[in-house]
Amino acid sequence: MSDMVELTGQSLAAALDGLEKGRFSSVELTRAHLDAVEALNPTLNAYITVTAEQALTQAAEADAVRARGEAGLLCGAPVAIKDLFCTEGVRTTAASRILSNFVPPYESTVTAQMKRDGAVSLGKTNLDEFAMGSSNMTSAFGAVQNPWRRRGDDSPLVPGGSSGGSASAVAARIALAATGTDTGGSIRQPASFCGIAGIKPTYGRCSRWGTVAFASSLDQAGPLARTVEDCAILLRSMAGFDPKDSTSVDVAVPDFRAAVGRSVKGMRIGIPAEYRAPGMPEEIERWWQQGIAWLRDAGCEIVDVSLPHTRYGLATYYIVAPAECSSNLARYDGVRFGERVEADSLDALYERSRAAGFGDEVKRRILIGTYVLSSGYYDAYYLKAQKVRSLILRDFTEAFGRVDALLTPTAPSAAFGLGEKMSDPVTMYLNDIFTVPASMAGVPGMSVPVGLDSAGLPLGLQLIGRPFDEETLFALGSALEKAAGFDHLPALRAGAVA
Amino acid sequence: MSYVIEGSTGPWELVIGLEVHAQVVSRAKLFSGASATFGGEPNSHVSLVDAAFPGMLPVINAECVAQAVRTGLGLDARINLVSRFDRKNYFYADLPPGYQISQFTHPIVGSGKVDIELADGTRREIGVTRLHLEQDAGKSVHDQDPTRSFIDLNRAGVALMEIVSEPDMRSPEEAGAYVRKLRMIMRYLGTCDGNMEEGSLRADVNVSVRKAGEPFRTRCEIKNVNSIRFVMQAIEVEARRQVEIWESGGVVDQETRLFDPHRGETRSMRSKEDAHDYRYFPDPDLLPLVLEQGWVDSLRSALPELPDAKRARFVAEYGIPDYDSSVLVAEQATAEFYETVARGRDGRLASNWVVGELFAALNRTGKTISTSPVTAEALGGLLDLIKDGTINGRIAKDVFEVMVETGEAADAIVERKGLRQVVDTGAIDSAIESVLAANADKLAEYRSGKEKLFVFFVGQTMKAMKGKGNPALINERLAHLLKAD
């Protein structure tokens, strides 16, 4: 088998099966993906760095390992890595000018585990600068295009963000799956915009070691893939306790894949009244109701619940996340690594290097964060936000006393046009309104594509679960996926350049 | 007792509080695995965490936590089972992450105390407000190049304990005694080596002055004073400066100052950041530090005996004077040496020998107790020879000198030199008789009532016996023979 469309169009699960059965080699599979990257990336800009040579070397190694009967979980599967994970010897930019020349001498725990399991890395995917954004428009390496187009309209759309490059690459079949990170919705929202699945696991499930930090108490790595099962396969490799990350949690990593397809009969699903945004398109409400109906048909019990502090989620998030980012990004000063603009005093060196190295959105968040931590404002903003955060967590804890999971829309809209919503940051921030609360509570959330809106763009629904109960999300996610039968294809994809 | 500065408007009282930064004795730094040893080529003890590379995370070093708890227990302080690490944010080239991890609102150790003693024997209790763990910064070197500064990150991330006192001290002497005592306790505990030259102990000194009975006036903080002598000098000159300001109608500004020991003055110091707003907030990379009471208890039960307890025990157990005991416990090694000598022997005799002959020999030879040419066991052997009558005290001093020179055991020296004490009354009697015969004139004077000459005869007899006669037997036999004649 050598047809590029077949090789790139299959799921991760199918590809691993094909490799195991010897229907194709990892080198063939990888080359097909690299060819597709070459054809599509100039348009999509999903990858910042393509590591073709390294990928083929890894693929050849993977073939040899498999021939010896020592294949790991991901042996020979070509995947993409969000350019926020440090990769040894491969430039890691966080899509920022200030790290544009940074080559880490170390490998993040998450990607090291994937390597251990035999994954082939095609390259590093684009993102919003330092993962700050919901459109991938803030990247210093240029915007990413969503491979989807509105029906009868060829104008480019955003893939969402911040894991926009990963979502675009997976949707366009130029990676079997990809890693992402999610701080306030950065996996779930782009997954929804690009018609793929993505899960932000429980905070502490994946190690943060070696991943460029945005907001430490919220950042969490997770997979993006075209099926729920593929997410389960990839997450198993990414997850696990890491003594190098004090916030990672020492709990066993279950075989998430085993939960895919598991019966959801008798599960209680909460429908939170508060997840209705002002001006939210009627279609989103309609798909939400459809999702509820599908789960009811699958034997779930639907329960109305209330999460009263949801309305404070976004405001609270935009205090906590910038506060942490203002401190986390202090290390980018041009002294030890990254871009430096020379100056004749230390302060001037800091000012010039940071002024030239950071984009507007990053600067905005550093300013907000510095402000909310300043003496005289700390109590009113940061401390208050922490209190509200614990109330948000309490909402979830109480709800999970009554239900097994929650079902909500993932985002308040479908993908929007490239360059839209850039004039008013708050409009952009509203993208995360449904994803931020789970981030604030540290609980897992998954987005599953369920259908198209009237313009032909994909929409996703979000499942939110109990801490460390991703298995329930995989069971419910696969039930939704099965019911939805989402088989629509984006306009731009491997072998079918529009 | 009370120390005051006499100004033109009358006496001024001093109010002093200290923040002591003590480097924790540990193999590795507080949050990275890098070595915490002093010295080494610049930037040779630096991990990616210390250099704040992207994605690097801190992991608390349990040994540093144990050291802080031990120190807290040694200060009779409350151990907080839940404490927290905060970030103190500021930009400087020797602070790679742009923040120092410290404990701002929830320190690991709460209030405790240090008992100090002054030269005149006065004892005072100085309150300790808190002890917290924090990271040290790196070192900026500005004098190696005309246009550039160099950064050495070997120290960056090394664990420090900041020990904050109450404003309880009232004189430079008290402040000196406080630092000395704190250092002694930490050395006993093995939690800080107290080496001020290497910077492992430094003090920020807060000083204000006031008239008796007044509330506190504005204080100034003198940063980074690195010897006990300088702490005392800095307090005095700073207090005098403040008295002058107040008395000339001025106002003391609250500020951070630097002590210049060459000029004997304090100077206003430029601050690291023009406006100090450290934007403290809980470090999201670290969970709250939660200790189990059982673990704290196990550290407590494994604590070594501390100086005050040891001093009291030596007095009670070995019957030595309190002053001697205080000298013996000043350093743990001396106390151990003493106790090895004293155990199973005459404690007073042991103390006299250690504080007297041994200290004098160490001084003379420039050695320390741990490099002493005479071991505790060897000194004990010498005392055994005195006790069992093999040699007398005078000969013992000669033997000791040989021990210092050659390191030989006392009994070997006694044998080799034939210094064994003569206890044969026949030999003593014949020595006495020849002395009396040779001094017939003195004997006549004695007989006519000049009884003081008894001592002369003893001395002559001892001399005739080359010092080896048993002094008690000589006395006894001389009295007998004089009476018998």
Contacts of B89 in chain A (CB under 8 A): 326-327, 330, 373
**CB nearest to B55's CB, from A86, A324, A336:** A86
Beta carbons of A373 and B54 less than 8 Å apart: no
Which residues on chain B are in Cβ contact (under 8 Å) with A347?
A: 91
> Taking residues B450-468, what's their average pLDDT?
88
The pLDDT assigned to B270 comes to 58
**Comparing A103-107, A229-233, B143-147, which segment has the lowest mean pLDDT?**
B143-147
Residue contact A327–B279, C-beta within 8 A: yes
* Res A1: pLDDT: 43
pLDDT digits (tens, 9 = 90+) for B296-334: 999 999 999 999 999 999 999 999 999 999 999 999 999
Query: What whole-number distance in Å separates Cα of residue A498 and Cα of residue A149?
Result: 10
Assign A97 a pLDDT band (cuts: 50, 70, 90): very high
- Identify the pLDDT of residue B274: 53
Which residue out of A82, A115, A200, A421 is catalytically annotated?
A: A82
Both tokens of A42, joined, read 């100039």
Give me the amino acid identity at B333.
Answer: A
- Backbone φ/ψ region at B98: left (φ over 0), alpha (ψ -120 to 50), beta: left
Residues of chain B with CATH 1.10.10.410: 425-484
For the question of residue A96 being annotated catalytic, the response is: no
Contacts B93 to A, Cβ<8 Å: 335, 346
Contacts of A359 (CB under 8 A, 6+ apart): A96, A97, A129, A138, A140
**Which segment of A239-248, A429-438, A487-496, B424-433 scores lowest on mean pLDDT?**
B424-433
User: How confident is the model over A285-290, as a mean pLDDT?
Assistant: 97
pLDDT exceeds 60 at position B13: yes
- The single-letter code of the amino acid at A27 is V
Max distance between CA atoms of chain B, in angstroms, equals 102
A94 close contact with B: CB closer than 8 A: yes
What CA–CA distance (Å, rounded) separates B170 from B187? 25
Q: What is the Cα–Cα distance from B192 to B199, expressed in whole angstroms?
A: 11
Give the confidence band of B385 by pLDDT, cuts at 50, 70, 90.
very high
Q: What is the DSSP letter of B169?
A: B
Rounded to an integer, the average pLDDT of A462-467 is: 98
pLDDT bin (cut points 50, 70, 90) of residue B389 is confident
Could you give the CA distance from residue A444 to residue B264 in angstroms, rounded to a whole number? 63
- ipTM over 0.90? The verdict is yes
Which of A209, A326, A347 is the closest to B57 by Cβ?
A209
CA of B107 vs chain A CAs: smallest distance (Å): 19
Cα dihedral: B304, B310, B314, B320 (round 10): 140
Mutate to test the interface with A, among B91, B101, B145, B279 (most CBs of A within 10 A): B279
Q: In this prediction, what percent of chain B has a pLDDT beyond 70?
A: 98
Residue B94 backbone phi and psi in degrees, to 5: -95, 10
What is the average pLDDT value for chain A, to the nearest integer? 96
Write out residues 367-396 of A within 8 Å (CB-CB) of B: 370, 373-375, 378, 382
Nearest to A258 by CA among A472, A51, A438: A472
Contacts of A209 in chain B (CB under 8 A): 55-57
Contact state of B87 with A215 under an 8 Å Cβ cutoff: no
Rounded to whole angstroms, the Cα distance separating B427 from B408 reads 30
How confident is residue B272, by pLDDT bands cut at 50, 70 and 90? very low
The mean per-residue pLDDT over the stretch A377-404 comes to: 97
**What is the CATH class of B425-484?**
mainly alpha
Check residue A91 and give its pLDDT. Answer: 98
Confidence bin at A496 (pLDDT 50/70/90): confident
Cβ within 8 Å, pair B96-A346? no
Contact B281 A331 (CB under 8 A): no
Q: pLDDT grade, residue A498 (50/70/90)? A: very low
Pick the more confident residue, B40 or A224: A224
**Cβ of residue A83 closer than 8 Å to a chain B Cβ:** no
Report yes or no: B60 at the A interface, CB cutoff 8 Å.
yes
* Residue A458: pLDDT over 80: yes
pLDDT at B5: 95
Residues 343-372 of A with CB under 8 A from B: 346-347, 350, 370
CB contact under 8 A, A333 and B98: yes
Closest CA to A447 of A431, A433, A461, A457: A461
Gap from A410 CA to chain B (nearest CA, Å): 27
pLDDT, tens only, B403-442: 999 988 998 898 888 778 777 888 888 889 889 889 989 8
CB pairs A-B closer than 8 Å: 97
* Mutation for B interface: A99, A111, A333, most B CBs within 10 A: A333
pLDDT tens, residue by residue, B53-90? 999 999 999 999 999 999 999 999 999 999 999 999 99
Among the options A96, A108, A162, A207, which is catalytic?
Answer: A162
Q: Average pLDDT over chain B, rounded to whole?
A: 93
The answer to whether the CB atoms of B281 and A327 lie below 8 A apart is yes
In A, which residues are within 8 Å of B57 by CB distance? Answer: 208-209, 244-246
Chain B: residue nearest A210 by CA?
B55
CA distances A476 to A122, A167, A222, A306, A452, Å, are 31, 21, 18, 21, 20
The residue annotated as part of the active site, out of A26, A121, A139, A186, is A186
Specify whether A413 is catalytic: no
Average pLDDT of span A435-443: 98
B99-123 confidence digits (pLDDT tens): 999 999 999 999 999 999 999 999 9
Which whole-number Å values give the CA distances from B306 to B43, B182, B332, B339, in the listed order?
37, 11, 9, 14
CA atoms within 13 A on the CB side of A258: 3
* Between residues A407 and B430, the one the model is more confident about: A407
CB–CB contact A215 B284 (8 Å): yes
Interface test with A, best of B31, B48, B53 (most A CBs within 10 A): B53
Q: How far apart are CA A317 and CA A388, in angstroms?
A: 10
Residues from chain B that touch A370, judged by Cβ atoms under 8 A, are: 279
Render pLDDT for B191-203 as a digit per residue (tens, 0 to 9).
Answer: 999 999 888 999 9
Please name the member of A108, A326, A336 whose beta carbon is closest to the beta carbon of B55. A108
Predicted confidence (pLDDT) per residue in A225-257, tens digit: 999 999 999 999 999 999 999 999 999 999 999
The answer to whether residue B477 neighbours chain A at the CB level (below 8 Å) is no
CB proximity A244 to B under 8 Å: yes
Determine the pLDDT at residue B211.
96
Contact state of A331 with B87 under an 8 Å Cβ cutoff: no
* Structure confidence at residue B483 (pLDDT): 81
Question: Does any CB of chain A come closer than 8 Å to the CB of residue B43?
Answer: no
CB contact under 8 A, B55 and A210: yes
Terminal alpha carbon distance of chain B: 63
Residue with tokens 């993040």: A108
Q: What is the mean pLDDT of residues A339-348?
A: 92
DSSP calls for A203-252: TTSS--TTBPPS-TTT-EEEEEESSHHHHHHHHHHH----TT-TTS----
Contact between A209 and B51 using a beta-carbon 8 Å cutoff: no
Which one of A247, A327, A336 has the shortest CB-CB distance to B87?
A: A327
Is any Cβ of chain A less than 8 angstroms from the Cβ of B275?
no
Candidates A212, A331, A346; nearest CB to B96: A331
**Taking the C-alpha atoms of B152, B157, B159 and B162 in order, what is their torsion angle to the nearest 10 degrees?**
90
Peptide bond into B370 cis (omega under 30): no
Q: Domains (ranges, CATH) in chain A?
A: 4-264+446-484 (3.90.1300.10)
Mutate to test the interface with B, among A82, A87, A110, A324 (most CBs of B within 10 A): A324
Spatial separation of the C-alpha atoms in residues A91 and A481, rounded to whole Å? 36
pLDDT at B163: 98
The nearest CA of chain A is from the CA of B89 a distance in Å of 7
